[in-house]
Amino acid sequence: MTRRRRATPLPWLGAILALYLTVPVAVFLVRTAGDGRHSLSTPGVVGALTVSVITATISAAVVAVLGVPLAYLLARARGRLAAAVGVAVQLPLALPPLMSGILLVQLVGPYTPLGELFGRRLTDSMAGIVLAQTFVAAPFLVIAARSAFAAIEPAVLDHAATLGHRAAARFWRVALPLAAPGIGAGLLLTWLRAFGEYGATVILAYHPYTLPVYTYVQFSGTGIPATRAATVLGLAVAAAATALGLLPRVRRRPRATLPSPRPPAAAAPTPVAFDVDVTAGTFRVRAAHRSASHRLAILGPSGSGKTLTLRAVAGLAGPGVGPVSYGTRRVDQVACEDRRIGYVPQGDALFGHLTVWHQLRFGADADDRLAAHWLARLHLTGLEDRFPAELSGGQRQRVALAQALARAPELLLLDEPFSALDAPVRSDLRAELRRLQRDAGLSTVLVTHDATEAAHLADEVVVIAGGRVLQAGRLADVFAAPSSMEVAGLVGYRNRGTGRVVAPGRVAIGTVVLDAETAGVVPGEPVHWAVRSEHVTLTVPEGDRRGSGSGVEGVVVDAFGLGTTVSTVVDLGGGAEIELIDPGGDVVAPGTQCRIVVAPGALHLWAAGSPADASPGDGGPGDGGRALSGSVPGPLQ
């Protein structure tokens, strides 16, 4: 039995308005068809139509030239002045057109200073009609264009800056093409509003007649029959203009002509140094590091300030954030577009109006032969004539990477470039980028929340959370000896918890006691602990697979195969659990009694004192206390 669809009133509600808007037109056309008094030979009607078409076109052109830049500025500006200008621009929409005419006559009337300056010719003239139409019609374009510009992601314009384009070029080559559909719709509304304007026009310029003024004069003189010719013409022109605006926009697809590829020249390593203090809203980031390697990762959770730090390094946060150096070159006072960087932003920041080949050539100093090399190297051959909407997520990321590399950048900045991709695609792109680092000598700064990604693509790591650096140094050192439990979690320690020191060198976790370095902690004090899953092994009474009966007892609560490895979770009692990763092991049934062994020195401890007792050198507030084991890098240089 099929379920009956529940009726909705939405179609009926829409139909009521549609009928109200269309029925009067239909009735007029039916009555006019049976009446011969609508000839175009009616005296004055063609002249009035010509005046309206010419003046509306001039008015729309004036509004386009002045209104589009104004809309762009309003879309990007913030503050009270921008809000006040936005309100002022929309006022003519709220005013009755007659009142708009009264306002204008105070400015351009024949006896005003401006009117005198132009020989009293700004009223009762074509100029007066254009002035009136422009005043009442301009808000339509400004509002539509402002909305279109505001819909452009700021990251897209920032991305254009990282490709070497200054503010004017970003407007003409990025913002204007992307906002073109909205601007076109606003321009159509502006022309139609100017064509139909009556109230302000009749105050400012009664002569020569526009079509609306002519129609009113005819109506006042002889009634409706004399207005039919003008009304038919008005309907025809409005219908034609509207139909023209509804035509589908044909997007030109230029065919790419590829030059012979040229591989990049060997690049000198470019380590990065920064000491930045940058704010976004109420969130503040203070981060400093001097890298010894040309492959750096900034690692942290979502909302930690990673991207803001990278933007400061790129120059997108402005010049006043603090010293930034690329190699031996100080760049914090250099505009972003002059820094010769490649920037791959988080998410999709490609330019929707450009094909793949033109994306690669978009950089202000992009090399066509180098672009052709990266097109082939990143497996994009055959896609050069496609638009971004016609690509998969992995293909778009490859295009963004090739686009950045086509400039032969001194430094490549990557903001979580693979976070939105499926695991297989992410793995392939990560491997490809690692090969590029090796083969092309790329200097990179990678922002990521994935410790595995950082390990693949960096030699040094800066761990950041809450807008501050928790630990920094050689990646191997930070991963082997995290300075706090928070850092341990961020660099991949899945086993973390709280225990208690029961004796020198002994710590209780759940109901078991393990060996650990406890220097400086009085027995009885709580500690935080962490251990890597790979540093824990498991044995069971039946067929001890590792030939050892040592370790502590536990109970298997979960186990599953991961292809080449097995993940097992063991209950240690007292609410404590520990996970281990066993390469080539067997899946052990839940409930099995077992024993686990923690590799010597693999259990890291931190004093679980109050945050107020922790100093920044020891991990700082919220970092999990003072480190008891492992090596902790010294202060930032």
363 and 309 belong to one structural domain: yes
Mean pLDDT of 13-25: 91
Q: What is the CATH number of the domain that holds 518?
A: 2.40.50.140
Q: Is the peptide bond before 319 cis (omega within 30 degrees of 0)?
A: no
Please state the domain count of the chain: 3
Contact 407, 363 (CB under 8 A): yes
DSSP 8-state secondary structure symbol assigned to residue 248: P
218 and 321 belong to one structural domain: no
Point out the least confidently predicted range of 51-60, 91-100, 216-225, 454-463.
216-225
> What pTM was estimated for this model as a whole?
0.83
605 pLDDT above the threshold of 50: yes
Burial class (CB in 10 A: 0-12, 13-18, 19+), 103: middle
Residue 67 located in a structural domain = yes
231 and 162 belong to one structural domain: yes
pLDDT of residue 549: 54
Contact 52, 230 (CB under 8 A): no
242 and 276 belong to one structural domain: no
228 and 288 belong to one structural domain: no
- The residue written with tokens 């001097």 in the block is 290
Instruction: Report pLDDT digits (tens) over 279-330.
Output: 998 999 999 999 999 999 999 999 999 999 999 999 999 888 999 999 999 9
Tokens of 555: 């109970």
305 and 433 belong to one structural domain: yes
Instruction: Report pLDDT digits (tens) over 204-214.
Output: 999 899 999 99
Using CA atoms of 325, 329, 333, 338 in order, give the dihedral in degrees to the nearest 10.
-110
Q: How confident is the model at residue 612 (pLDDT cuts 50, 70, 90)?
A: very low
52 and 195 belong to one structural domain: yes
345 and 379 belong to one structural domain: yes
pLDDT of residue 471: 96
pLDDT of residue 632: 34
Question: Residues 6 or more apart from 243 whose CB is under 8 A from it?
Answer: none
Residue 360 located in a structural domain = yes
Question: CA-CA distance, 322 to 365, in Å (whole number)?
Answer: 27
Strands in 593-598's sheet, in edge-to-edge order, are 536-539, 593-598, 552-561, 565-573, 576-583
29 pLDDT above the threshold of 90: no
Q: Are strands 444-448 and 411-415 parallel, antiparallel or unpaired?
A: parallel
Residue 134 located in a structural domain = yes
Q: How confident is the model at residue 2 (pLDDT cuts 50, 70, 90)?
A: low
321 and 218 belong to one structural domain: no
94 pLDDT above the threshold of 60: yes
pLDDT of residue 7: 74
Q: How confident is the model at residue 271 (pLDDT cuts 50, 70, 90)?
A: very high
Tokens of 455: 């390990």
Q: Which domain holds residue 355?
A: 272-473
594 and 467 belong to one structural domain: no
311 and 415 belong to one structural domain: yes
621 pLDDT above the threshold of 60: no
525 and 434 belong to one structural domain: no
Q: Are strands 552-561 and 565-573 parallel, antiparallel or unpaired?
A: antiparallel
37 pLDDT above the threshold of 70: no
Residue 104 located in a structural domain = yes
Residue among 109, 116, 264 at smallest CA distance from 200:
109
Question: CA-CA distance, 401 to 431, in Å (whole number)?
Answer: 13
Contact 587, 560 (CB under 8 A): yes
585 pLDDT above the threshold of 80: no
Contact 324, 274 (CB under 8 A): yes
Residue 491 located in a structural domain = no
